[in-house]
Amino acid sequence: MPKAAELGPLSHVAAEPRLLAPVFHDPKHGIKIYHGNCLEILPAIPDNCVDLIFADPPYFLSNDGITCHAGRMVSVNKGDWDRSRGPEINHEFNRAWLAACQRVLKPNGSIWVSGTSHVIHSVGFAMQQLGFKLLNDITWVKPNPPPNLSCRYFTHATETLIWAAKNNRSRHTFHYKLMRELAGGRQMKSVWEIPPPEPWEKRFGKHPTQKPVSLLGRILLASSNPGDLVLDPFLGSGTTVVAALRLSRCSVGIDIGNAPADLAMARVCRELAFVEVTVSCWRFGLDLGPGSVDRSGFTRTRAMGTPVSGKLVRQERRYYFVGLNLREIIYAVDAADLEEAWYKFRSSTHAGTEILFVIKTETEIYLAQGK
């Protein structure tokens, strides 16, 4: 799941930060996605406004080594953002983004950070330096981890999540009873066995460190309430925003990469856009009338499943404009492409309406011909 922060000198952060427009904004569900460096965007977010933060920062694992993925040997390199600059600079980076997150947290807010042994110890130490109150360390067990190809270590089958409150005065949210119910009537332990992302979660693309929706769902259920604002400074594939949307939380996501931001938006749009197409056919006929066609020579019928060739006789491409505030189809038009559809929309009486989605449907009618 999430990972995308630019490392390097931290002095470039603007003295008077200005929050740029989000690349995606859904005011109805309280979703904002920003494309940029979290160290530049976080300073522009007001103090004490976020209820919960989930962060999956770089693990600094891109060291030109190899690993196993889907039964194949692949490079561990994920991008320049994941390359280590040395323990001192890595730790300086962790302190910087954690301090920025601490400032925007509400007094009773809390933060979850995921990581492996390569980064999580630095995160925990930085939290102590900044005055966070450490609440739990959760061991996330992966049922089917990739094998260790070098055969020189134990197979890496876990990740650690640190849960911390803003400071020692915080009265953090914890839904103990709900967690007990999910644990079958017993106290939920700090060892969670949760499968990796399901295939449907990767429908629009893969991210090298994608987290499962079920993991984020449990975190949000445990430590936030409906209507709360959830922040993810390393949004990656967008799992945090998807889980927040499903559980009626508002969310803000930040990612420095174009591809991760696009992937996150695609996944969010999948959750927001539900299209139901129903075709009801009470009577279907092609003949003009009972006496218009001579059927005297027609004696055989085509069995189901018999191969047919088709001749395209009609093709339609239709665009549906869905409103930003009123979530219904505002305008529909036939057009050759999206550009023409937008032109027709702007020339219509609905031109002043803000649009969230444009949905395209294509219909083709073929004349079946026997071979």
CA–CA gap between residue 225 and residue 217 (Å, rounded) = 12
Residues 6+ apart with CB under 8 A from 84: 60, 62, 63, 90
> Residue with structure tokens 């992302």?
197
**How would you class 318 by CB atoms within 10 Å of its CB: exposed for 0-12, middle for 13-18, buried for 19 or more?**
middle
What is the reported pTM? 0.74
φ and ψ of 3, to 5 deg? -175, 120
Question: How many other CB atoms sit within 10 Å of the CB of residue 179?
Answer: 17
Residue ranges of alpha helices (H) inside the chain are: 38-41, 87-104, 120-130, 176-182, 213-223, 239-246, 258-272, 338-346
Nearest C-alpha neighbor of 214 from the set 266, 264, 262, 142: 142
pLDDT by residue (tens digit) across 194-208? 998 888 888 887 777
User: Between β-strands 229-232 and 250-255, what pairing exists: parallel, antiparallel or unpaired?
Assistant: parallel
pLDDT by residue (tens digit) across 121-152? 999 999 999 999 999 999 999 888 777 777 88
Domain 24-272: give its CATH superfamily.
Vaccinia Virus protein VP39 (3.40.50.150)
* pLDDT given for residue 46 in this prediction: 94
* β-sheet with 50-55: strand ranges across: 24-26, 31-35, 250-255, 229-232, 50-55, 105-115, 158-165, 133-141, 191-193
pLDDT by residue (tens digit) across 236-282? 989 999 999 999 999 999 998 887 788 888 888 888 876 555 555 44
43 confidence band (pLDDT: 50, 70, 90): very high
Question: How many other CB atoms sit within 10 Å of the CB of residue 227?
Answer: 10
Nearest C-alpha neighbor of 254 from the set 267, 243, 241: 241
Residues 6+ apart with CB under 8 A from 206: 237
**How would you class 364 by CB atoms within 10 Å of its CB: exposed for 0-12, middle for 13-18, buried for 19 or more?**
exposed
User: Between β-strands 309-323 and 229-232, what pairing exists: parallel, antiparallel or unpaired?
Assistant: unpaired
* pLDDT given for residue 87 in this prediction: 85
**Structure tokens of 190?**
């700090």
Cα 216 to chain centroid distance, Å, stands at 11
Secondary structure class of 126 (helix, strand, coil): helix
Q: Where are the domains of the chain?
A: 24-272, 309-369
For residue 64, pLDDT over 50 is answered with no
